[in-house]
Structure 1
Amino acid sequence: MKTICKNLRILTAPNSGPMTFLGTNTYILGTGSDLCIIDPGPINEHHYYKLQKVLRAEEPSYILITHSHLDHSASAKRLAQEFHIPILAHGNPAGARSEFMKRILQKSKEIGGLEGLDQDFYPDSSISGGEIIKGHGWTLEVLHTPGHLSDHLCFSYKEEEILFTGDLVMGWTSTLISPPDGDIGHYYNSLDKLLQRDEDIYLPGHGSEIRNAKLYVANLKKHRLEREKQILQILSKEDASSFQIANIIYQELPEPLIRAGTRNVLAHLINLLERNLVICKSPVSSGASFSVKE
């Protein structure tokens, strides 16, 4: 357990890995009473015990979930039942998909995705952006920030001008965007939303705090736009699938990261398809061949 600033502590779950870095960050907002738990984390007895110890000594009021991936939301139900506190989250990734993504899904059953999704998760109260949540000494503004996942939320800690960014902006690498619930167009829009705000310190779901956050976000968007150009350059030479493109772009990476890269490439290709820059003559999937539109 580490104190970040007045009224704010962090506890990192021991679920380190290639997709989670050192583990999932759980944030405890408040002191003594009206505690708010942001992302209680995965099902892990060691992590739960540490969190439980804090909450038994103090008075929790809310559980907030940035998004419904298992490493963030899986222990929420147990925590809510033990301490009789409500879970607040968006909780409807399928309903928050873009209309274009919904049309893609009507035509293709082989798009994949849904890895890591907490399909049994549901909140006690649904929040979708614009809400203000208050406790003793703290105020949070809810932002809907899809991209990594369509039900993704960020939370602005008003008293300290800090933004809890979940997996939209992580402190160690760029995020996974895996269709159908990951969406590059949504991701660009969410990054732009963050760039228009005042917060310049971010607390991510994985990795350390991010200072000079606006520059960091601008570089994330620049990275994605450069990746888009790289994909179009590859397709200008020959038709290719997301799997084939990922094996060119990420050839130096370990196999698990190439698989993740394939999902990111597919997200780019779907976005390019929506913008009428590429075509796909078969149902969209990781193995479907794409070509540049002439």
Structure 2
Amino acid sequence: MAVCDLCASKAVWRDPASGAVLCGDHFSAWYEEGVRDAIEKYAMIPSGSRVAVGLSGGKDSTVLLTVLAKLNLDAEFVAITVDEGIANYRDDTISAAVSLVKRLGVEHRIVSFADVCGKTLDELLVSAPERACSVCGTLRRRALNAAARDAGASLIATGHCMDDEAQSVLMNYLRGDIRRVAENYHTNAGDLFIPRIKPLCRCTERATVAYGIVNRLLTPLPECPYTKYALRAGIRTELGVLEHKYPGTLSNIVSGQERLIAKLGVMQGEVTEMGVCERCGEPTQNRLCAACTLIEKLEHLE
């Protein structure tokens, strides 16, 4: 039986990168310190911030809120759950989110797609289920931004981990989305949107799940029925295989992206000015924002 490098207790975690072997208590402390280090390295949470934490009720957001509540940061947290309206899925995750915030004593707000556009995700996708992820992502960002603004938050924290970051990098390359690959453009978006932070950005999904298990945070939940349509699902599988075979792959992808952006620098030139959507008043460069453009297209498919 393997024992912890730091004590004689039974080990529950072996870090693929460093080879460290840790018991539950020392692993939890190591994980929490990693989150704190990321927050400090990227100056994510200024003193006195009111942070809206996106809480789906799933593993990543559950761990995120739990760790943020434990780190004794000089900040106030409000959990926001977006109810997309997905039958046989969302009710269970909302129930898990409600149980968590009660246990942690954190303020909680729930906003639905019906509040945003008058329809559930299931209703919006009747004629185009294959567009589930793009539709859901666009509307969820809108709902979370609006709810965070209503809650008086200065930041929005999401549970994206290192795996998500690496997946996004590869997806941008596969789509040929040079703008997102380089991120070297000027806009005034920062003046219009509530800034987003990702405190778990240097934690792997494997470590995040392990933290949830060790600390008895996770409950069995159904999988989103629209996952089968996601490009990300295929990327996740392939990256998981590579990370298992070549530990450090995820970190290399994410670090490489940071070095690329630093190398490119920021393009000089005019700032791309954003205005507001004619339909909802949210920030956009166009007549309609992405969410309203999407809703309009879906309405025409009915």
RCO comparison, higher one (Cα < 8 Å, 6+) = 2
TM-score w.r.t. length of structure 1: 0.30
Structure that is richer in strand per residue: 1
